[in-house]
Every structure is written in structure tokens, then in C-alpha cells.
Amino acid sequence: MPQSHPAVPPSARPLSRQPSSSSRAGRYDVAVLGAGAAGMMCAAVAGQQGARVVLIDHATRLAEKIRISGGGRCNFTNLHAGPANYLSDNPHFCRSALARYTPQDFLALMRRHQVDWHEKHRGQLFCNDSAEQVIEMLRAECGAGQVHWRTGCTVAEVRREGDDFLLLTPHGPVRAGALVVATGGLSIPKIGATDFGYRIARQFGLPIVETRPALVPLTFDGAAWQPFAPLAGLSKEVDIATGKGKEAGAFREDLLWTHRGLSGPAVLQISSYWRPGTPITIDLFEGEDAAAWLLEAKNGTRKHLGNLLAARMPARLADAWCQAAGLDAARLPHDLPDKALRKLGEALNRWQLVPSGTEGYRKAEVTRGGVDTRALSSSTMMARSVPNLYFIGEVVDVTGWLGGYNFQWAWASGVAAGKAVAENVRAVAQASGDGVASSTYLRTRPAAAK
Ligand code: FDA
């Protein structure tokens, strides 16, 4: 893999990279905590722009979530990614970072590293070969930024010492002028997810928006689900919706019937909006008035009701649906009263279920909620009240839809923080006139919070 393809355009890079006085003192300009998608991107950008960076992770294998994503092919972005595809208590927060680092920017990086991709569905881009290529690309970008690695390194505690951050680890303390927290969310603890990022936020007085599993299978009560159990394996595109007002979510996606309930992209998408105790509504006719369609067909068709419906859905599903409505699938619609067809149509358009719960963080792809964005600058990701403390990626209260949006947020927020932190280093180096960062770095005004 080539080492000289920058994550940022050459024009944005410093003319020369000189060892900083902080480096001579064994102090880093920036410590990035968490070597996942956001952390690696941030470290690479900051390093390539002249900052001396250390990237720390408690795991020994890098970026495990990239590796397992997209069925091993990593759905690394979505061509249509924009603020409307993200959930947050503060929906405009993600706008600035997403506008400044777009899917096209990430594709340019992929092209420079000769990583081939394809579009699968609705703008979702996957690697042709393997998610490992994305990890290797980011590793090479970190190499180009001369990033120092500390993997298998658990940070027990973060302290403020003077203007520096002091990270206590079993391998000795790490001192840095700035700290970027990129520890991700709570999903899939068995591959290294922890709540450490939220704890650091709380330690420094930053509020947390309540966290919960998102993009997660919903569970359904066994008895209520029993009539649909024989449908396991069927799938159909549906409209699915839940919630009201600002909390409302609605998608057109594939729904999958399983032995345990409903699943597939439709359920994962809506799970991010679902609140316990509330219903989800499924439209098996994707917006078309099913009752009107049945009544129109009543006089013009010689097909049995089951066969008629099978034009719109798998035959087994059509039969099950007639049965649930108390109608014989072998009857001609012509022989059925309008009232019965209207009732069937309404049920097809508005199938309501109340899930009993979710499968939790063990199965969730992401975590909704996190560090409250009102406490962060949307242009730099820096905490407004704590100079040089940054939060990026999934640990922040920005949650994308299914389909590559979460990685796009990780890249965009990582680039925003990486550039901002390096800009601070450069500003101090210029102010000191000798082209090197000094220990006064943190005493200078950080890039203004916006
Ligand atoms: P990420 O979780 O990637 O990295 C956090 C890092 O911090 C980890 O390396 C972890 O070890 C480290 N860490 C945690 N606690 C620590 C501590 N106390 N000390 C030191 N290090 C610590 N998204 C998408 O857009 N397309 C997709 O195809 C998929 N697919 C997918 C599949 C599955 C199974 C999951 C679970 C998730 C996805 N996602 C996805 C979501 C995507 O993986 C996720 O949103 C990003 O990886 C988030 O990037 P971050 O860098 O913020 O966290």
C-alpha cells in the first residue's frame, strides 16, 4: 500500500515537518483515544498537517468494527449522505463537518489508494474485495502522518496537569497538549466497546444525551407472533414508520420474516426511532390505497383473493394475510362483501405491532445518544468549556441511518477535529517564530468554538 497518499490535499499540509519542542520533551501535541474509524482518520489528518500524534487503543487488533462491517466489505459511505440522514438532539450540528468532508472526498482517498468499490443499493458504497483495505488505507495514512501507535494500551485515568492532558496507562503516562476522544459507542462490547468516552465527558462536566441501542433487531412477544412464525424466510419491501412529530421516522425498506419476529433493513432503520411501549406501523402496499385496489379488482378479476394479492407480495404472505382477516384465500373477490375487502385493505396499509424490546447493545450496530453536541463546536468538535478536548465519531450524539452514514460521520468528524487540532499547533509554532510547537501551545487561545 503506498505511503504517500495524503488524507488531506497537499496544499493544506505544512511546508516542512520539524520535530517540535514537545516531541523533544516526550510530550505529544495530540493524543487520540480510540483507533477506530474516526480516531484513525483524525490522527492521520492531524499528523499529516504537522502535529505530533499518538493514537491509543486498548484493543490489539485495529478498527474491529470496520473489519466486520458490511458483511466484511465495509459499507464505507453513502453517496447521498446529508444532515437529514442523522438523528441527534441537535439535528443541525452535523451539517458543518459533513459539508466540509463529503463522500466524494473519501472516494478520492480510496482512488489514491487504488481501493475499488461498488454501489449496492441507494447510494451505499462497499469495497469490492475486503474491509481490510479500508483499515490498511487508514493505517498507511497514519504512517504518512508519522503517527505513534499504542495498541493494547488501556487508559486507566485522564488528568489535567497544568494545561496538558495526562493519560495514565500500565505502560507509563502519556502527556499531550490536546486530547481527542474517539472511543465509539456501546455496541458490541465483546469487540472492545466501552463507556470510557462518556466517562471522560462527565469528568470534564460535559452533558450526555441518554444512550440506547440503535440499528438493532426488535423483539416481538412469542404468543402474539405465533401466527406469523411459518412465514420465516419471506421478505418484502414495505413502508415502515413510528413516532410522532420531531421523533417520527419513516422508511421504505425490505422487511424480513424470521422465526423470532420481523427483521431486515426496515426493522433496523425504524429501531433507531422506536421508543419502548409505542407501536410501529407497516404498510405492505407501499403507500397505495389497498382497499381501493381490492374494490377496483373485485369486478374485473377472475382470480382468487389469494392469487390476486400474490401479485403484490409473496403467495405465502398473501394466504396468511387472508387467514388473519378471516377470509378464505380461495374465494373470488367478487363473492366477498365490500366491507370485508375494505377491512382487509386497511389492515394491509396499517399493520400495527408493539415490539416487546430490542436485542440490546449485544446486537446493535450503533448507539443513539452520547456526548451532547450543544457542548461541542460544530466546526472543530472541541468542547466549548474545555480547551483542547475534542469528541468525534459515534461517542457524540450523532447517529446515522443504516447504509454507510455512520462511517461518513466518523470520517467527517475525524477530519474536522484533525484539522482543527493541527491548526492550533501551527498557529503556536508561527507565533513562536521558530516553526516549532512549544509547551505554550495550550496556553494560547484554542480555535474559536462556533
Ligand atoms: P469505533 O467503534 O469504530 O472505534 C472505537 C475504538 O475505541 C475501538 O477501536 C475501541 O477498541 C476503542 N476503545 C473503546 N474504549 C476504549 C478505551 N477505554 N480505551 C482505549 N480504546 C478504547 N457503519 C457504516 O457506516 N457502515 C457499515 O457497513 C456498518 N456496519 C456495521 C456493522 C456492525 C456489526 C457494527 C457493530 C457497526 C457497523 N457500523 C457501520 C457502524 C460503524 O462501525 C460505527 O458507527 C463506527 O465504527 C464508529 O466509529 P468510531 O471511530 O466512532 O468508533
**CATH code: domain of residue 302:** 2.40.30.10
| 404, three cell numbers | 454507510
Q: Whose C-alpha lies nearest to ligand 1, atom 49?
A: 37
User: Which of 21-25, 260-264, 307-311 is least confident?
Assistant: 21-25
Task: Could you list the beta-strand ranges (E) of 341-422.
Answer: 351-353, 357-358, 366-371, 389-391, 399-400
| 428 assigned to some structural domain | yes
CA of 113 to the centre of ligand 1 (A): 22
8 Å CB contact between 368 and 313 = no
The string of pLDDT tens digits covering residues 43-56 is: 999 999 999 999 99
Residue 106 has pLDDT above 60, yes or no: yes
Residue 430 has pLDDT above 90, yes or no: no
Q: Looking at 358, 393, 419, which one is the last position of a domain?
A: 358
Q: Please check whether residues 267 and 197 belong to one and the same domain.
A: no
Q: Please check whether residues 35 and 113 belong to one and the same domain.
A: yes
The stretch 181-202 carries a mean pLDDT of 95
Ligand 1 neighbourhood includes 398 CB (under 6 angstroms)? no
Residue 444 has pLDDT above 60, yes or no: no
Q: Please check whether residues 322 and 372 belong to one and the same domain.
A: no
The radius of gyration of the chain from alpha carbons, rounded to an integer in Å, stands at 26
Q: Please check whether residues 93 and 20 belong to one and the same domain.
A: yes
What is the C-alpha separation between 398 and 188, in angstroms, rounded?
A: 18
| 59 assigned to some structural domain | yes
What is the C-alpha separation between 210 and 399, in angstroms, rounded?
A: 13
Q: How far is CA 314 from the centre of its chain?
A: 32
Q: Please check whether residues 376 and 342 belong to one and the same domain.
A: no
8 Å CB contact between 147 and 86 = no
Ligand 1 neighbourhood includes 81 CB (under 6 angstroms)? no
41, 45, 69, best to mutate for ligand 1 pocket (most atoms within 8 Å of CB):
69
Task: Could you list the beta-strand ranges (E) of 38-80.
Answer: 53-56, 75-78
Please, what is the end-to-end C-alpha distance for the chain in angstroms?
Answer: 38
Residue 28: strand, helix, or coil: strand
Of residues 69 and 441, the one with the higher pLDDT is 69
What is the C-alpha separation between 404 and 2, in angstroms, rounded?
A: 25
| 119 assigned to some structural domain | yes
Q: Please check whether residues 139 and 27 belong to one and the same domain.
A: yes
CA of 37 to the centre of ligand 1 (A): 7
8 Å CB contact between 23 and 175 = no
| 84 assigned to some structural domain | yes
Residue 22 has pLDDT above 50, yes or no: no
Q: How far is CA 61 from the centre of its chain?
A: 20
- The overall average pLDDT reported for the chain is 89
| 449 assigned to some structural domain | no
Residue 439 has pLDDT above 60, yes or no: no
Q: Please check whether residues 140 and 100 belong to one and the same domain.
A: yes
What's the confidence (pLDDT) of residue 441? 35
Q: Whose C-alpha lies nearest to ligand 1, atom 19?
A: 58
The stretch 416-439 carries a mean pLDDT of 78
What's the confidence (pLDDT) of residue 192? 86
| 438 assigned to some structural domain | no
Residue 190 has pLDDT above 50, yes or no: yes
What's the confidence (pLDDT) of residue 431? 80
Q: Locate the ligand 1 atom nearest the alpha carbon of residue 393 and give its number.
A: 52
Q: Please check whether residues 272 and 346 belong to one and the same domain.
A: yes
| 130 — pLDDT class (breaks 50, 70, 90) | very high
The string of pLDDT tens digits covering residues 281-294 is: 999 999 999 999 99
The DSSP secondary structure of 225-279, one letter per residue, reads HGGGGGGTT-EEEEEEEE--GGG-EEEEEEEEE-SSSEESHHHHHHHTT--TT--
User: Which of 158-172, 175-189, 236-250, 430-444 is least confident?
Assistant: 430-444
Domain count, the chain: 2
Residue 8 has pLDDT above 90, yes or no: no
Alpha carbon of 197 to those of 54, 161, 181, 269, 283: distances in Å?
A: 17, 19, 6, 25, 40
Of residues 46 and 7, the one with the higher pLDDT is 46
Residue 308 has pLDDT above 50, yes or no: yes
Q: Looking at 339, 358, 377, which one is the last position of a domain?
A: 358
What's the confidence (pLDDT) of residue 14? 39
The whole domain housing 293 covers 218-358
What is the C-alpha separation between 171 and 71, in angstroms, rounded?
A: 35
Length of the chain: 450
Q: DSSP H helical segments within 74-160, as ranges?
A: 95-100, 103-112, 132-144
Of residues 12 and 202, the one with the higher pLDDT is 202
pLDDT-above-70 percentage for the chain:
90
Residue 15 has pLDDT above 90, yes or no: no
Q: Please check whether residues 312 and 266 belong to one and the same domain.
A: yes
| 448 assigned to some structural domain | no
Residue 338 has pLDDT above 80, yes or no: yes
Residue 31: strand, helix, or coil: strand
Residue 152 has pLDDT above 80, yes or no: yes
Q: Please check whether residues 101 and 200 belong to one and the same domain.
A: yes
∠ Cα 144 148 154 (to 5°): 140
| 236 assigned to some structural domain | yes
What's the confidence (pLDDT) of residue 225? 77
Q: Locate the ligand 1 atom nearest the alpha carbon of residue 410 and give its number.
A: 49
The stretch 67-82 carries a mean pLDDT of 96
What's the confidence (pLDDT) of residue 227? 73
What is the torsional sign of CA 123, 419, 87, 183?
Answer: positive
Ligand 1 neighbourhood includes 86 CB (under 6 angstroms)? no
Q: Locate the ligand 1 atom nearest the alpha carbon of residue 414 and give its number.
A: 51
pLDDT-above-90 percentage for the chain:
78
The backbone torsions φ and ψ at residue 180, rounded to the nearest 5 degrees and listed phi first, read: -110, 120
The string of pLDDT tens digits covering residues 196-207 is: 999 999 999 999
Ligand 1 neighbourhood includes 192 CB (under 6 angstroms)? yes
369 Cβ neighbours under 8 A, 6+ residues apart: 208, 209, 210, 211, 212, 397, 399
Q: Please check whether residues 202 and 300 belong to one and the same domain.
A: no
Give the CATH number, domain containing residue 85: 3.50.50.60
What is the C-alpha separation between 211 and 367, in angstroms, rounded?
A: 6
Alpha carbon of 380 to those of 106, 257, 331, 383, 420: distances in Å?
A: 19, 44, 65, 9, 6
Q: Looking at 333, 358, 383, which one is the last position of a domain?
A: 358
Q: Please check whether residues 95 and 191 belong to one and the same domain.
A: yes
